[in-house]
Amino acid sequence: MAEHEESRCENCIIRELNSLKALKKEELKAISDSKVSRSIKKGEALFKEGEKLGGVYCVRNGVSKLSKISDNGKDQIVKIASKGEVLGQRSMISEEGTNLSAVALNDMEVCFIPKDQITGRIQDNPAFTQAILKHMAHELKIADDFIVNMAQKTVNQRLAEVLLYLSTTFGTDEEGYLVLILSRADIADVVGTATELCIRTLAKFKKQGLIETKGKRIKILDQSGLEKLKDGFQ
Amino acid sequence: MAEHEESRCENCIIRELNSLKALKKEELKAISDSKVSRSIKKGEALFKEGEKLGGVYCVRNGVSKLSKISDNGKDQIVKIASKGEVLGQRSMISEEGTNLSAVALNDMEVCFIPKDQITGRIQDNPAFTQAILKHMAHELKIADDFIVNMAQKTVNQRLAEVLLYLSTTFGTDEEGYLVLILSRADIADVVGTATELCIRTLAKFKKQGLIETKGKRIKILDQSGLEKLKDGFQ
DNA sequence: GATAAAAGATGACTTTTGTCAGTTGGCCAA
DNA sequence: TTGGCCAACTGACAAAAGTCATCTTTTATC
């Protein structure tokens, strides 16, 4: 029985967003034959830190948080991954367990691609390897910037930055509210602070006319105000 | 006039420490012919953030700090690089200016390898590309861990961790003092705090019998005490 | 729609961290 | 030797962040 056209990797537009676009038709066909589609419900984990993965996950739909629990038991969200992102790639290449946990922030659809399909292509398709390398180099730059932000900026600045990031990355709806809705606790885990302080700071932003809230939904009212704040001009 | 044997890349043992070991004899010869050796005095910069690099620097001797100035004007040291490290590699691959500044912490000897020597090898030697990829994947894991530490740990914990890191990475002299001697300001810039708090915290550690100091030199007295501290059991 | 559970919000307080204004002490060069 | 300079150090205070207890609102479920 033939699968639907759009469920085949060769026809999947998602791959234009990641390193898989460097693969040839035949290679994609082989991957498509061995891949497994999976639905992940909001709140479910794709994998947990330390786990040995048998392959990578290509995100077709939905959003996932990648986090790690520090020695003091607090969770830190390191990245928010959505459509096109390939999860588990890094740990597969360095041949370790995953360093991060991946939990769905809303309902997701992912394709699981077995390990040997990826490692095989890294062995025999230099263009693919180079694409991953370039992507990883970029990720490393982002990580370095993140380190500097966490180390040197205040919660105020970091929260302002996160709100702007959510706006530019995931966009806003017709009413101007951020499309990606996170719990206050999750926002705090991205910012790297306690939930209470996150809530208080949001309330302060609201009082200052920078944002507006409606339940857990957030609307940015003064983008340039937030940008100034993030750069330290308070 | 023939160069000294040990100044040729083919004979340089340093390359065993990095991705260059994946190169073939002829490739190394070509690199050797185009490389330029350079001496950097303590305090001098190899490059500054934002600069476009014409190649990479392979560290033969000495230690360099890699840092970035945050929007608030404070410097954050992201990495301490020594013998074998290749600097500028990441920015070359992602074809951007450097994200970090590199400043010598003591007198250094480096080899400058022109850009096209590296990009050329990435194009035509898959083993080399894979070696860099694997290294970069590992660096990314370290960066993620760093993010979690900066975000979730106290200055106490982070300073304890830095001292242990300096000890295991650069070792101690006959008297037990850390071999790599950093100014208090540099230690503070690694930890991500103000110099005064760094000094105060060192004084506290001293009072607790965890360390001993003599001028700017530091000796670890109670390693397991520091390890407990770093993991949050104070 | 009632009820329980979870998430959001707030007050009061403590701890941690940052800042400013000094003093001390070692090192180098004239 | 002396003066100047810089890094190390200290005290006093202010600001930022974390914690705990409690209350309110929202959401989910029967």
Would you state the pLDDT for residue A16? 86
Average pLDDT over residues B186-205: 98
Asked whether residue B196's C-beta has any atom of DNA/RNA strand D within 7 A, the reply is yes
Would you state the pLDDT for residue B16? 87
Are A46 and A123 in the same domain? yes
Would you state the pLDDT for residue B129? 97
Q: What DSSP character marks residue A52?
A: P
Would you state the pLDDT for residue B232? 87
Are B144 and B30 in the same domain? yes
Whether the ipTM is more than 0.85: the answer is yes
- Enclosing domain of residue B40: 2-150
The Cα-based distances of B59 to A144, A211, B102, B134, B160 in angstroms read: 21, 49, 12, 20, 27
Are A6 and A122 in the same domain? yes
- If pLDDT is split at 50, 70 and 90, which confidence band does B6 have? low
For the cut 90, the answer to whether the pLDDT of residue A4 exceeds it is: no
Would you state the pLDDT for residue A164? 98
Are B135 and B48 in the same domain? yes
For the cut 80, the answer to whether the pLDDT of residue B230 exceeds it is: yes
For the cut 80, the answer to whether the pLDDT of residue A5 exceeds it is: no
- If pLDDT is split at 50, 70 and 90, which confidence band does A220 have? very high
Q: Report the run of H or E that residue A184 belongs to, with start and end.
A: helix A184-191
Are B140 and B161 in the same domain? no
Shortest distance between the Cα of B5 and any Cα of chain A, in A, equals 33
Average pLDDT over residues A8-16: 89
Nearest residue of A to residue B191, measured between CA atoms: A151
Q: What is the CATH number of the domain that holds B125?
A: 2.60.120.10
The share of chain A scoring above pLDDT 90, in percent, equals 91
Q: Cβ of A141 and B91 within 8 Å?
A: yes
Q: Is the dihedral of CA A29, A51, A47, A75 positive or negative?
A: negative
Are A136 and A160 in the same domain? no
Are A140 and A51 in the same domain? yes
pLDDT mean across residues, chain A: 94
Q: Cβ of A129 and B134 within 8 Å?
A: no
Long-range pairs, B223-230, Cβ under 8 A, ≥24: B223/B164, B223/B167, B226/B160, B226/B163, B226/B164, B227/B160, B227/B164, B229/B156, B229/B157, B229/B160, B230/A71, B230/B153, B230/B157, B230/B158, B230/B160, B230/B161, B230/B164
Are B41 and B96 in the same domain? yes
A233 touches B: beta carbon within 8 Å: no
pLDDT tens digit sequence for A59-101: 999 999 999 999 999 999 999 999 999 999 999 999 999 999 9
For the cut 90, the answer to whether the pLDDT of residue A117 exceeds it is: yes
The share of chain B scoring above pLDDT 90, in percent, equals 92
pLDDT tens digit sequence for B91-112: 999 999 999 999 999 999 999 9
Gap from A105 CA to D23 C1', in Å? 28
Last residue of a domain, one of A150, A165, A182: A150
| Chain D footprint positions (protein CB, under 7 Å) | 7-12, 16-21, 26-27
Q: Cβ of A70 and B153 within 8 Å?
A: yes
Q: What is the dihedral of CA B59, B63, B66, B72, to 10 degrees?
A: -160
Would you state the pLDDT for residue B4? 59
Gap from A228 CA to D18 C1', in Å? 26
Are B186 and B74 in the same domain? no
Are B128 and B207 in the same domain? no
For the cut 70, the answer to whether the pLDDT of residue A3 exceeds it is: no
Number of domain units in chain B: 2
The share of chain B scoring above pLDDT 70, in percent, equals 97
Report strand pairing: A211-214 vs A86-87.
unpaired
Residue closest to D17, CA→C1'? A197
Shortest distance between the Cα of B131 and any Cα of chain A, in A, equals 10
Q: Is A178 exposed, middle or buried, given 0-12, 13-18 or 19+ CB atoms closer than 10 A? A: buried
Q: What is the CATH number of the domain that holds B167?
A: 1.10.10.10
Shortest distance between the Cα of A156 and any Cα of chain B, in A, equals 13
Write out the two tokens for A184.
Answer: 């206050």
Last residue of a domain, one of A150, A185, A220: A150
Last residue of a domain, one of A97, A120, A150: A150
Supply the pTM of this predicted model.
0.95
Are B15 and B126 in the same domain? yes
Average pLDDT over residues A156-166: 98
Would you state the pLDDT for residue A232? 86
- Chain B neighbors of A95, CB-CB under 8 A: 134
Are A157 and A94 in the same domain? no
